[in-house]
Amino acid sequence: MISVENVTFHYPDGPDVLQDTNLEIRDGEFVAIMGENGAGKTTLVKMFNGLLKPDKGTITVDGIDTRKKSVAQLSRDVGLIFQNPDNQLFAETVAQELAFSLRNFGFAEDVIERRVTSIINTLDLERYEKSSPFVLSGGERKRVALAAILVWDPKHVIMDEPTIGQDYLQKDRLRNFIMQLVSQGKTIVIVTHDVEFVAECKPRVVLLSHGKVIGDGSATTILTNSALVEQASLVLPQISTLMKNLADLGAPSDIIDAYSAKDFVVARMREKVESRARSLKS
């Protein structure tokens, strides 16, 4: 469990980026942390693996205060995937890139080989195993960066803006992969401002604005709240706006994705047909 208690933080010479923030993420939960650029989202998740330590308050990961462990120790359980893969790729081959963290953590060579092969297969990177990470395309590099963290199988996985620069197909694939990880029982935290992506995965949503948590609930509760969404510089999912426009016709206010909307329309149309048939009979 990751627990944030009364945390306040500011960068040197800067204003408070996080103010008396409180948050609790249970094991195996799937959470999206959303908010405008500069709201404190990335700052907050950097505290989960100890890169940043709070000025006031405590961050506890699995029962231990993050101040008591080093970044390397915390990273064993908390894998943080940064936004830009070019900030970490450096090895001669993809395989070596993936082995890097395992070597740092002191795994045995045979275990390293096994794990690297395993993650390469899981993420469809077989044909790039011996390639240099630098000749791969943007999307492929992002996959390698993802593999580089998952290779040591951390219990909690945090992704910082995983959808930026991805096209629709890549996002689709990513979404499926995240749901797979969730079903494996991992805690998944994504920092994002991609409202439609979140509307389709439906995680728990925590809204940050100016360093404070202004909303915390299910995706359907938060992403349909116009006031909160506006405050966090986000937009309502298109389907949500559509449903609100048709509220007078009884469109439910808790539908945020196309599939659920279709189900509603189909059900409503069937009702209409049935009621018409009934009234014809009588």
Partner 1 sequence: MLGFFVSALMFTNIFALLVVFVMQVPIVLVAKTVKRWLQSMRGVLIYGGFIFIMNMIFGTQFVQAIAFSIRFLAVVSAFSLFFMTTSADDLGLALEQIHAPYSIAFTFTTAVRLVPTMAIDAQTVVDAQRSRGLELDKGNFMKRIRNYVPILIPLIISAIRRSVELAEALEARAFGATEKRTSIVTLKMRLSDYVVIIATLIGLGFAVYVYLHVPLPNPVIPIQLPRISWPSLHTSRIDQT
Partner 2 sequence: MAAISARNLSFKYAGAESPSMENVSISIEKGEFVILTGPSGCGKTTLCRCLNGLIPNFYSGELTGDLEVDGVNVSGKTTAELASHVGFVFQNPENQLFSLSVERDVGFGLENMGVPREEAIERIQWAMRATGIFNLREKAPYELSGGQQQRAAIAGILAMRPSILVLDEPTSFLDPKSAEEIIAVIAKLSHDIRLTTLLVEHRLDIVSRYANRVIVMDRGKVELNGTPSEVYNDRARLIGVGLPRVTMLFHLLRTAGFDVANPINVEQASDDLRRLLTK
Judged by CB under 8 A, the chain residues 131 through 160 that form the site for partner 1 are: 134, 148-149, 152
Q: Counting contacts by CB under 8 A, is residue 239 touching partner 2?
A: yes
Q: Does 38 bind partner 2 (CB under 8 A)?
A: yes
- Least spacing, CB of residue 22 vs partner 2, in Å: 24
- Candidates 45-53, 188-196, 206-214, 249-257: pick the segment binding partner 1 (CB under 8 A): 45-53
Distance in angstroms (rounded) separating the CA atoms of residues 185 and 180? 9
Contact call for residue 259 and partner 1 (CB under 8 A): no
Cα 55 from Cα 196, distance rounded (Å): 34
Helix (H) or strand (E) holding 206: strand 204-209
d(CA 280, CA 259) in angstroms, rounded, equals 31
3-state secondary structure of 182: helix
Q: Name which of 47 and 228 has its Cβ closer to partner 1.
A: 47
Between the two ends of the chain, the Cα-to-Cα distance in Å is 60
Question: 35-44 burial by CB neighbour count: b if 16+ within 10 A, else e?
Answer: bbeebbbbbb
Structure tokens at 115: 């794990």
Partner in contact with 23, chosen from partner 1, partner 2, none, beta carbon below 5 to 8 Å by kind: none
Which one of 3-11, 67-75, 183-191, 267-275 is the stretch in contact with partner 2 (CB under 8 A)? 267-275
Task: By CB under 8 A, tell whether 70 contacts partner 1.
Answer: yes
Candidate residues 58, 60, 84, 241; the one interacting with partner 1 per rule CB under 8 A: 84
CB proximity list for 78: less than 8 A, separation 6 or greater: 2, 48, 49, 61, 154, 155, 156, 158
Binding site residues, partner 2, CB under 8 A: 36-38, 137-139, 164-171, 193-196, 199, 233-235, 237-239, 241-242, 245-246, 249, 257-259, 261-262, 265-266, 268-269, 272
Binding site residues, partner 1, CB under 8 A: 46, 49, 51, 70-72, 75-76, 79-80, 82, 84, 86-91, 100-101, 104-105, 134, 148-149, 152
